[in-house]
Chains A and B, each alone.
Chain A
Amino acid sequence: MSGSEKLCYNEPTIFTGGNYPMLTFRKGFKDGVPIALGYLSVAFAFGMLAVEKGLPLWSPVLLSISNFTGTGQFAGIDLISSNAGLWEVIFTILVINIRYMLMSLSLSQKLVRDMPVWQRMVIAFGNTDEIFGVCLQQKEPLTMRYMMGIILCAYSGWNAGTVAGVLAGSALPAMVRTALGIALYAMFIAIIIPPAKESKPIMKVIVLSVLLSCVFSYVPGISGLGNGWTIIICGVISAGLGAYFFPLTMKDEQGAVR
């Protein structure tokens, strides 16, 4: 099974004591730049929308600082502007965010093994979809300094974008805004397609997940399930079948390092 071994590594034996020279803060920060640029536009739209919905100007900024998540924050300004009850807030946000449990579980397997709990707890705050996606591309175990670099870079973009969006109101013309709407999706495509080209099992998992996701969105009756659940169900079913039919052997995983 060529290719998939690049994506699931075992810890290399040549480096010891959690000292992985490749994944520096600088490298993390650099890898965070495309994410930050994507975030600028999305957070900009978020800030504008929040102002349009009549929220107090400080609230979208506080949301971005404390939440650092896309979908949840967009849902949040709807919840606030419709004066939602607290249980509705809890339920909606949890359903949207439950996918993070799977991503964090996956990420936990890629961190350097001796990383202390407090560092893991700091990293957890920055485990957004995009940062997770870029981390996925790294072949070495992820170090704290690399994670700090990528998170700080992306976090700056997210908050700068929010502030700019709030200040600008709707200064950005609509035609530019709609064109930017596709940016983050395109980035995800750039993350998943190259590995899929190398590995047939990954390609099959992706195709299956896309088909399932389309069924969930377009077939009447089950299309009202909500995005949070749909993503989980599609991800678990497609990866579950992938793992069943194309289990990775130890050899695959060991070949992973180089």
Chain B
Amino acid sequence: MSIGKVLLVISIMALCTYLPRMLPLALFRRKIKNQYISSLLCYLPYGILAAMVFPDIFSSTASIISGIAGTATALLLAYRKRGLLPVAVSACVTVFVAERLLELIGIL
């Protein structure tokens, strides 16, 4: 790809990322009164984030086994209401340890 086309693609991408983020924020300025819609908007983030995490989290590491171990750690600590950083770091450490163990027994 030529430099010109790379620049064009990056600009198009920026626009296609910014517009979906910007339009609803700029256009919806009033508080939504409709009970169904406001309930929907309250639940929607949870539905979306949950679908983003599962099942992709299992394949986010080198092996599905370490992925499951990391997920279990994150779920447990999140259930105990630990903060974002402790949960994320513990999940990473669990994955790292699990993958070394898997290497040791020759699975990975």
Contacts and interface: CB of A to CB of B under 8 A. Distances in A.
B103 to A, nearest CB: 8
A179 B43 contact: no
Contact of B6 (A59, A107, A127, A237): A59
A87 B60 CA distance: 29
A109 B90 CA distance: 33
Contacts of B54: 210, 213-214
Q: Do most interface residues of chain A lie in helix, strand or loop, or is the interface mixed?
A: helix
Interface of A: 4, 7-8, 11, 33-35, 37-38, 55-56, 59, 62-63, 66-69, 72-73, 76, 79-81, 83-84, 86, 89-90, 93-94, 97-109, 111, 113, 117, 120-121, 123-125, 127, 129, 132-134, 136, 174-176, 178-197, 201-202, 205-210, 212-214, 217-218, 227, 230-232, 234-240, 242-244, 246-250, 253
B1 to A, nearest CB: 5
Contact of A80 (B9, B17, B25, B89): B9
B16 A197 contact: no
B104 interface: no
Given A117-B26, A134-B84, A178-B99, A102 B44 contact: yes
* Shortest 3 CB-CB contacts between residues of A and residues of B: A186-B91, A193-B78, A243-B39
Contact of B77 (A63, A190, A218, A236): A190
Contacts of B48: 99, 102-103, 209, 231-232, 234-235, 239
Nearest to A198: B81
Given A90-B16, A109-B38, A187 B88 contact: yes
Given A210-B51, A234-B51, A190 B87 contact: yes
A230 B39 CA distance: 21
A148 B17 CA distance: 19
Contacts, number: 314
B97 to A, nearest CB: 9
Given A8-B42, A129-B52, A201-B43, A186 B74 contact: yes
A120 to B, nearest CB: 5
Contacts of A86: 8-9, 12
A106 to B, nearest CB: 5
Given A100-B21, A247-B39, A182 B70 contact: yes
Interface residues of B, number: 77
Contacts of B91: 182-183, 185-186, 189
B40 A209 contact: no
Contacts of B105: none
A79 B16 CA distance: 14
Contact of B70 (A101, A186, A191, A212): A186
Interface in B22-59: 22-26, 28-29, 31-32, 35-57
Contact of B24 (A104, A113, A190, A242): A104
Given A62-B10, A209-B51, A181 B60 contact: yes
A250 B83 CA distance: 30
Nearest to A210: B54
B55 A218 contact: yes
Contacts of A246: 39
A176 B95 CA distance: 9
